[in-house]
Amino acid sequence: MDLLLSALRWIVDGSHWQAGSQSPLPIQDRLVEHLTYTAIAVVIAAVIALPLGFLIGHSGRGRQFVIGFTGAMRALPTLGLLFFLLMVFGYFLSFDTAPIVGATISFVILAIPSMLAGAYAGLESVDRQTIDAARANGMTEWQILLQVEIPLGLPLIIGGIRAAVLQVIATVTIASYAGLGGLGQIISNGIGNNNYDLILGGALLVTALALVVDGLFALAQRATATRGLTDTRPATAARRRPTSRSPRPHASENA
């Protein structure tokens, strides 16, 4: 308990947020690095994973690929991958660029499976009858994707992104092993100096960051939840029984 209080005191200590402090301070610089690496990795992963997930979900082809691929990717240890890539890129790239490229690739690879699975599962969750009707009414395949499948699959799609972001936030902590800073820098510095305030303080910061970002995603998910599927104001006494035509699984299932 003393350790925890001491760590909290360390976090709220104004001098640790002073610009120009010695490494691993100030805290806000590490925080910004942490968020920047997370954002870069997530955006790159999204550009790769979402279109691919939409393609697979829309066409129904490559389902086996998603299941096998995401399973295999999730089993990949990111720390090992990071060291491997640092070694590989160390041969080709300069001393400055090898770490950032290697780390970014590891985080992108970490983020892809969740997003791919979310995008695919989101589209897969849309009622086939609804899609069939949309097609029979003369929607083009693009219109079906953009106006029917993505809006209806949005909760699961965002759920996938949410899971990916959380994994990356937690894992960017290892960026400090590549000399890239981030909140992990505070922790590894603490380990080096046997300073529990730094170790625990850094860990708490990562946790707090993850919780805040997750909270933001929860709000986004609620805001984008399809209104027609959640609003249950009854229209008549003879309202239809709630057969789950378009399942809208709870968001946290995927997170």
Partner 1 sequence: MIEFRSVTKEFPDGTVAVEDFSFVLPSHKTTVFVGSSGCGKTTLLRMINRMVEPSSGQILVDDQDIADQDKVQLRRSIGYVLQSSGLLPHRKVVDNVATVPVLKGVPKAQARSEALALLDKVGLDRSLAERYPRQLSGGQQQRVGVARALASDPNILLMDEPFGAVDPIVRADLQVELNRLQRELGKTIVFVTHDIDEAFILADQVVIFRKGGVIAQAGTPAEILADPADDFVASFIGADKGKRALRLQQREDDRGLTLVVDGDGRPLGVLDRRATS
Q: Minimum distance between the CB of residue 156 and partner 1, rounded to whole angstroms?
A: 14
- Min dist CB 133 to partner 1, Å, is 3
Contacts with partner 1 by CB under 8 A lie at: 127, 129-130, 132-140, 143, 147-148, 151-152, 226-229, 231-236, 238-240, 245-246
Q: Are 78 and 142 in contact (CB under 8 A)?
A: no
CB of 239 to partner 1, least distance (A): 6
Assess contact for 73 and 112: CB atoms under 8 A: yes
In angstroms, the CA 1 to CA 13 distance is: 18
Residue (36 or 130) nearer to partner 1, CB:
130
Q: Please, what is the minimum distance in Å from the beta carbon of residue 229 to partner 1?
A: 6
Minimum CB separation of residue 146 from partner 1 in Å reads: 12
Nearest-approach distance from CB 56 to partner 1, in angstroms: 20
Q: Which is nearer to partner 1, 2 or 231 (CB)?
A: 231
User: Helices 150-171 and 196-224: crossing angle, nearest 10°?
Assistant: 180
Contact 122, 102 (CB under 8 A): no
- 1 vs 238, which CB is nearer to partner 1? 238
Cβ distance to partner 1 smaller for residue 148 or 164: 148
For partner 1, the closer of residues 14 and 138 by Cβ is: 138
Closer Cβ to partner 1, 1 or 227, answer by number: 227
List the structure tokens of 137.
């009414």
CB-nearer residue toward partner 1: 130 or 195: 130
Quick one: which of 202, 93, 24 has its CA closest to 210?
A: 202
Burial class from Cβ neighbours inside 10 Å (0-12, 13-18, 19+) for residue 135 reads: middle
> What stretches of the chain show up as alpha helix (H) in DSSP?
2-12, 27-59, 63-74, 78-92, 97-124, 128-136, 141-143, 150-171, 183-193, 196-224, 227-230
What is the closest distance, in whole angstroms, from the C-beta atom of residue 243 to partner 1 in the complex?
9
Report CA-CA distances (Å) from 40 to 32, 45, 46, 74.
Answer: 12, 9, 10, 20
